[in-house]
Amino acid sequence: MAKRKGITVSRQIMDSQMLHPEATGELTGLLNELIVAGKIISAEVNMAGLADILGQSGKTNIQGEEVQKLDVFANKTIKRRMEQCGYLCVMASEEEDGIIPVLDGYEGKYTVAFDPLDGSSNIDVNVSIGTIFSIHQRISSGKQGTEKDLLQPGSRQVAAGYIIYGSSTMMVYTTGDGVHGFTLDPSVGEFFLSHPDIKIPQTAKYYSVNESYTNYWHDSTRAYIDYLKEIDPATGRPLSLRYIGSLVADFHRNLIKGGIFLYVRDKKSTDKPEGKLRLLYEAAPLAMVVEQAGGRAITDDGRRILDIEPVDLHQRVPLIIGSKEQVDIAESFFLGKKG
Ligand code: AHG
Ligand code: MN
Ligand code: MN
């Protein structure tokens, strides 16, 4: 007899909706639309080596970065599904300069900001990449949403998560009742619950930072990374360095195994005075996930990521995120209390 498959992600979302009698089912519908988009992108990512969608699209995005064809495909796929799902009033994407409207007559009460494909530099070398999403409830009245609906602090997100296209495709999300992980079974095209109620280990096993910037680091960063290289008496060894160059992949490994990821300000980033990562669709959604899993997410001057009031769709933010105990230690270095 075939082994009974587990709980599908749609069932889990429905179950968590039941926890909220006031729920109308719109958030459930929205998450299900994102899931479909994730399945479509996953199929394309897994075919990327064969189909002619590798390589440059010849375009650059608002970040001034070379846009890869898979980026374009992922962005289009999500936009197409979201603009007529009836649950959104406005969207924002890393790949688009301004706000993205929904089709007239399809306006709903939520907003979504997304990074359609995170880790683009890894697309054509078969390294894990992902999609990150952040959902808010609109605050403006009227039909189409506005930028104001998107520029809300991460603490007001109603849902956040990511889909990681790796050795398997996984969806990890939270609606504020814990973090749940689902693995795609391509043979049936369903995401099944594989990681219920994820809690990030309190102590870190890994640290993730791009050490090629060492010569530009501020003293506090250098002191902290040097500290991580000392022998940890608890384990008799220093932390292991793992840096994939896809935030979603580095974050996901740290979420499961325990770790800390840093992308902070340095002396060279004159054009990016706040570091490289974007608040709305990278730092804030992952900060909600990590806090729901018992971890922390702060900036290199001690601000809680979820408390930051955004002023621009694509504003960047320094990010220190991961296991609570290790973020606490990092914070003491960056606030000058240690090192
Ligand atoms: P994206 O591909 O969406 O632009 O994001 C890339 C980001 C993030 O995924 C990763 O952690 C970081 O860029 C790597 O930057 P460096 O190459 O400067 O380390
Ligand atoms: Mn990204
Ligand atoms: Mn991206």
pLDDT in tens, 13-23: 888 888 888 77
Residue 2 is predicted with a pLDDT of 47
Please identify which residue in the block is written with the tokens 């359609």: 116
Ligand 2 centroid distance, CA of 217 (Å):
22
Cα separation, 278 vs 208, in Å, equals 17
Ligand 1 centroid distance, CA of 242 (Å):
14
Q: Which of 279, 34, 306 is nearest to 172 (CA)?
A: 34
Ligand 3 centroid distance, CA of 117 (Å):
4
Q: Which of 263, 271, 274, 317 for mutating ligand 1's site (highest number of atoms within 8 Å of CB)?
A: 263
Residue 5 is predicted with a pLDDT of 61
Residue 67 is predicted with a pLDDT of 64
Residue 38 is predicted with a pLDDT of 96
Class of domain 206-334: alpha beta
Amino acid letter, 229: K
Ligand number nearest CA of 276 is 1
Query: 239 versus 54: which is more confidently predicted?
Result: 239
Q: Which of 206, 265, 277 for mutating ligand 1's site (highest number of atoms within 8 Å of CB)?
A: 277
92 DSSP β-pair partners: 113
Query: 244 versus 71: which is more confidently predicted?
Result: 244
Q: Give yes or no for a contact between 68 and 57, defined as CB atoms under 8 angstroms apart.
A: yes
Picking from 48-57, 82-91, 103-112, 158-167, which range would have the lowest pLDDT averaged per residue? Answer: 48-57
CB 245 near ligand 1, within 6 Å: yes
Picking from 35-39, 51-55, 186-190, which range would have the lowest pLDDT averaged per residue? Answer: 51-55
Q: Give yes or no for a contact between 138 and 109, defined as CB atoms under 8 angstroms apart.
A: yes
**Fold agreement (9-195, 206-334):** no
Ligand number nearest CA of 96 is 3
Q: Which residues surround ligand 3, an ion (CB under 5 A)?
A: 94, 115, 117-118
Residue 53 is predicted with a pLDDT of 60
Cα separation, 259 vs 56, in Å, equals 33
Closest atom, ligand 1, to C-alpha of 277: 7
To which CATH superfamily is domain 9-195 assigned?
Answer: Fructose-1,6-Bisphosphatase, subunit A, domain 1 (3.30.540.10)
Average pLDDT in the 194-201 region? 97
Average pLDDT in the 226-253 region? 94
Ligand number nearest CA of 119 is 1
Cα separation, 163 vs 172, in Å, equals 6
Cα separation, 242 vs 209, in Å, equals 8
CB 60 near ligand 1, within 6 Å: no
What end-to-end distance do the CA atoms of the chain give, in Å? 60
Query: 5 versus 8: which is more confidently predicted?
Result: 8
Residue 179 is predicted with a pLDDT of 97
Ligand 1 centroid distance, CA of 148 (Å):
26
Query: 46 versus 321: which is more confidently predicted?
Result: 321
CB 247 near ligand 1, within 6 Å: yes
User: pLDDT at residue 1 above 50?
Assistant: no
Residue whose CA lies nearest to ligand 1 atom number 14? 245
Ligand 1 centroid distance, CA of 97 (Å):
18
Q: Which of 208, 209, 323 is nearest to 256 (CA)?
A: 323
Per-residue pLDDT band at 10 (split at 50, 70, 90): confident
Ligand 2 centroid distance, CA of 74 (Å):
13
Average pLDDT in the 111-119 region? 97
Residue 39 is predicted with a pLDDT of 95
Instruction: Kindly list the domain boundaries of the chain, sorted by start residue.
Output: 9-195, 206-334
User: pLDDT at residue 4 above 60?
Assistant: no
CB 77 near ligand 1, within 6 Å: no
